[in-house]
Structure 1
Amino acid sequence: MRATNPGGTSAANSATRFTYTSPLPPLTALSPNNGPVAGRNLVTITGTNFTGANSVAFGTNYAASGNCSSPTICTMKVPAGVIGMVDVRVHNPYGWSAPVAAGRYAYGPATITAVSPAGGPAAGGNKVTLTGTNLADTTAVTFGTGRNGTGLACTATSCTVTAPADTASTKVSVQAVNAAGTSPVDNRTQYTYGS
């Protein structure tokens, strides 16, 4: 900023700079970032400029109910959707937030497209990497019925887990469990125990 009077205009310097910020409400996180197709679960949306927010959209569907309790937090009941990813956007008096990676929400359970390695020792204890979708909020990885891997660490597209023990020559299905349910089984989810 500079001031002008009959003697002239003040010089520009760093102490007189003024920064304009966007009044739109950017999103920085969703928790959880997935859920059932039927909706009705609560999601906490974190961001900024939520003051006066009057609507939240999950793709083309609007949240059934909820509120923005502060300038940085909104808690919303998710509307029904279809299996897949959608952008969550918040509307305040200045307009809609832009779609961002942190604002992606997945309808439906996780899916696993690869298990690597596809087998290991009967004693277990080896690291296994799962690749797929909707994996960020995975709460358990099962190896067959009743056996969970340990040391679970996940991102949106992969999980690493330590395999449990099982009987030699046993082939099991590996599945990821999250709030939306259990990932489906197909030939890409098989894990074989060696001797």
Structure 2
Amino acid sequence: MISTLNPAQGPAVGGNQVIISGVGLLGATAVRFGTNSAIYAVVSNSSIRAIAPPGVGQTSVRVTSPTGTSNGLTYTYVPAPVLSGLVPGQGPTSGGNQVVLTGTGFT
């Protein structure tokens, strides 16, 4: 059984480390983010380090062992920010000027 994911979200391109906590994790044979397999290392009976594969939206993280598959916890993929504007488009080489960026996904 798994109880927490830390962090519970990450970039859509994947690649970030997620600590999966719970009980009975020592015999883990697979970690999946939805249908995608993750690279993982069992740290202890209560902890697994996994690398999130790429994905979109929300998915369920599950751990499989010889005794079955765990409950699922929600992991959210956060899309990369998209830059659509930059004002002013130029400035002094010494820097120091204020620039306003516009787009989506900055939070």
Interval containing the TM-score (normalised by the shorter chain): 0.7 to 0.9
- Partner Cα separation in structure 1 for residue 37 and residue 55 of structure 2: 10
Question: What is the rounded CA distance, in whole Å, between the counterparts of 1:44 and 1:34 in structure 2?
Answer: 11
Q: Which runs of 5+ in 1 are unaligned?
A: 1-25, 110-144, 146-172, 176-180, 184-195
User: Any residues of structure 2 matched to 1:32-181 within 5 Å, and which?
Assistant: 32-63=7-38, 65-82=39-56, 84-99=57-72, 103-109=73-79
2:4 to 29, 38, 46: 29
**Counterpart of 2:78 in structure 1: which amino acid?**
G
Q: Which has the higher contact order (CA 8 A, sep 6+)?
A: 2
SS at match of 1:45: strand
Q: Do the aligned partners of 2:31 and 2:40 also contact (CA within 8 Å) in 1?
A: no
- TM, length-normalised to structure 1: 0.41
State the identity as a percent.
38
The whole-number CA distance in structure 2 between the counterparts of 1:52 and 1:86 is 23
Of Structure 1 and Structure 2, which has the larger fraction of its residues in helix? Answer: 1
Please say which structure displays the higher CA radius of gyration: 1
SS of the aligned residue for 1:182 comes to coil
Q: Which has the higher strand share?
A: 2
